């Protein structure tokens, strides 16, 4: 009496196992790709939001100063052109906004320079905590005597290839006009710097 063997055993065939592994691999690749895209998008959005916040904070601080400043006239080295000097209403001294380089102890953001154009004291406009390490801020402004307004442009510049933008590219930029509330030129003012 011979027993017939049942050739069907419980379990999966090699072909079924390979198909299951292939399906799981495809799902894993799709999910991993989606996570990478989400992470990159989140980094870009975060960088843009931080840049916009830094530009807005800087413009607020600069605007508060320039609204009450008096334009400086007379000294050719301190007037006219881009980033001209003005008389700061808080200190009474001649000052201007300048860019600093992100090296040598400076954080690479905008500073208020008091005194001479060559060696005046520089004080940061906003703290380094208000700006991330991914970018630094730059300023350009001019004064129009006919309208008694300052035209100010603040830019947040990428320092690295973060957020999908190359180093040196603008992450955010805004131009704003501020009208002086303290009148016109401060000619004849004391030389405090």
At 101 the pLDDT is 72
**Full 3-state SS string of 67-83:** HCCEECCCCCCCCCCCC
Q: What does residue 141 show for φ and ψ, rounded to 5 degrees?
A: -150, 155
Q: How far is CA 26 from CA 20, 21, 29, 31, 70, in A?
A: 10, 9, 5, 9, 67
Phi-psi category of 92—alpha, beta or left, where left has phi over 0 and alpha has psi -120 to 50? left
Instruction: State the DSSP code for 5.
Output: P
Give the model's pLDDT for residue 21. 96
What pLDDT does residue 47 have? 84
- Kindly report, residue by residue over 120-164, the tens digit of the pLDDT: 788 888 877 667 677 888 899 988 888 889 999 999 888 765 555
pLDDT at 125: 84
Mean pLDDT of each 10-residue bin along the chain, 193 residues long: 60 91 96 93 88 89 90 58 84 86 66 78 78 80 88 86 64 90 50 30
């Amino acid at each position: 009496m011979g027993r017939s063997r049942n050739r069907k055993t419980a379990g999966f065939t090699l072909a079924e196992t390979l198909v299951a592994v292939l399906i799981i691999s495809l799902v894993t690749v799709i999910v991993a790709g989606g996570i990478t895209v989400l992470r990159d998008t989140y980094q870009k959005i975060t960088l843009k939001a931080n840049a916009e916040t830094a530009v807005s904070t800087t413009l607020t601080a600069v605007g508060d100063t320039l609204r009450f400043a008096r334009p400086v006239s007379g000294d050719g080295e301190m007037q006219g052109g881009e980033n001209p000097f003005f008389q700061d209403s808080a200190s009474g001294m001649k000052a201007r906004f300048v860019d600093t380089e992100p090296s040598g102890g400076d954080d690479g953001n905008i500073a208020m320079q008091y005194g001479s154009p060559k060696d005046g004291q520089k004080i940061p406009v906003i703290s380094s905590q208000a700006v991330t390490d991914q970018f630094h801020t730059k300023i350009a402004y001019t004064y129009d005597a006919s309208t008694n307004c300052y035209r100010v442009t603040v830019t947040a510049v990428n320092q690295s290839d973060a957020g999908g933008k190359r180093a040196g590219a603008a992450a955010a930029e805004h131009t704003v006009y501020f009208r002086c509330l303290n009148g016109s030129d401060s000619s004849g003012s004391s030389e405090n710097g």
